[in-house]
Amino acid sequence: MRANFDDPLRLDNGNRRVDAAGPLVWNGQTGECEIAVTITQNVNGTTVTATGDSGDYRAPSDRWDADADTRDHEQFQSGATAQAVGIITLKSSGHKIQWSQPVTLQ
């Protein structure tokens, strides 16, 4: 099983939310999974972080999405690169699969 982030990812809520999403490839896996995401970006020497969780997905769903929100009033910079990390959790076994990739926020 594997997933990726779409690139670019859309900003929302005054640049305080990332609408994270991407393809989901089961590679023969069955069952149900959920995805947790963390998006980080360096903005003027400060690290801005947003976290979020997806709903539950069952095979053969081929897309996932999750809203990732910042804490307080931190804001991302539109048009700049961020680091996106995702963790898929397979509900039947608890097995976790992590990936990361750079993404542009718009």
Sequence-separated (6 or more) residues with CB below 8 Å from residue 80: 41, 43, 104, 105
CA 77, CA 95: separation in Å to the nearest integer? 34
Which pLDDT score is estimated for 29?
87
Q: 14-60 pLDDT, tens per residue?
A: 999 999 999 999 998 889 999 999 999 999 999 999 999 999 999 99
pLDDT recorded at residue 28: 87
Distance between CA 87 and CA 37 in Å, rounded? 6
Predicted confidence at residue 21, as pLDDT, reads 98
Q: Domains in the chain: how many in total?
A: 1
Contacts of 7 (CB under 8 A, 6+ apart): 101, 102, 103, 104
Buried b (16+ CB within 10 A) or exposed e, 74-93: bebeeeeebebebbbbbeee
What is residue 59's DSSP assignment? T
23 preceded by a cis bond (ω within 30 of 0): no
The whole domain housing 71 covers 2-104
Per-residue tokens: 12: 């929302």
The 10s digit of each residue's pLDDT in 70-102 is 988 899 999 999 999 999 999 999 999 999 999
Which CATH number is 77's domain given? 2.60.40
